[in-house]
Amino acid sequence: QIIKVEDWIIYFFSLEWTLRVVSYVPLKTESGEHRSFFTFLCEPYTIFDFCATFPYYLIRYHQIEGIVSLRLLRFFRVFQLLRLKKYDIYLTTMVRVLMNSMQALHIYLLTLLFLAAVFGSVIYWFEKGELVECLE
């Protein structure tokens, strides 16, 4: 059931990306020049959307499994959610709160890393034993 939902979401974003690429019309920039089609294809959102959908088709229709790089490319689906944030006030609020709390989050992560190093060293010290070589 969840696979069907994932399929429909990927199809929707693929259709949206394809329509966006096919219907591209160069607009004049502030300097009066036209942006090229290649410049449009190299924009971050265009690349992220392509990288989010491309591995799905390789895995689904060509049965290419086990390639770690394809699994990492699936991470780009998160960027599609970031693009949708401008339409949802709750997601926009959550992103704003996280951005305002960044200093506190950095302090928390630094403390967490420090404590992990200290307690990891303590556990290593308690668990170390004497090395006994077997002479047979």
Give yes or no for residue 22 having a pLDDT over 80: yes
Q: Does 36 or 72 have the greater pLDDT score?
A: 36
pLDDT at 134: 63
pLDDT band at 112 (very low <50, low <70, confident <90, very high): very high
Find the DSSP H helices in the chain: 2-22, 37-41, 44-62, 68-73, 77-84, 89-100, 102-127
pLDDT at 10: 81
Give yes or no for residue 136 having a pLDDT over 60: no
The stretch 60-80 carries a mean pLDDT of: 65
CA distances from 24 to 21, 47, 53 (A): 5, 15, 19
CA distances from 94 to 17, 89, 100, 104, 109 (A): 26, 9, 10, 15, 19
pLDDT band at 53 (very low <50, low <70, confident <90, very high): confident
Class of residue 74 by CB neighbours under 10 A (exposed 0-12, middle 13-18, buried 19+): middle
A 10 A CB-CB count for 51 gives 16
Residue 55 structure tokens: 């591995």
% of the chain with per-residue pLDDT over 70:
71
Give yes or no for residue 114 having a pLDDT over 70: yes
On average, the pLDDT of the chain sits at 78
| CA dist., res. 98 & res. 85, Å (int) | 13
pLDDT at 115: 95
Give yes or no for residue 96 having a pLDDT over 60: yes
pLDDT at 108: 94
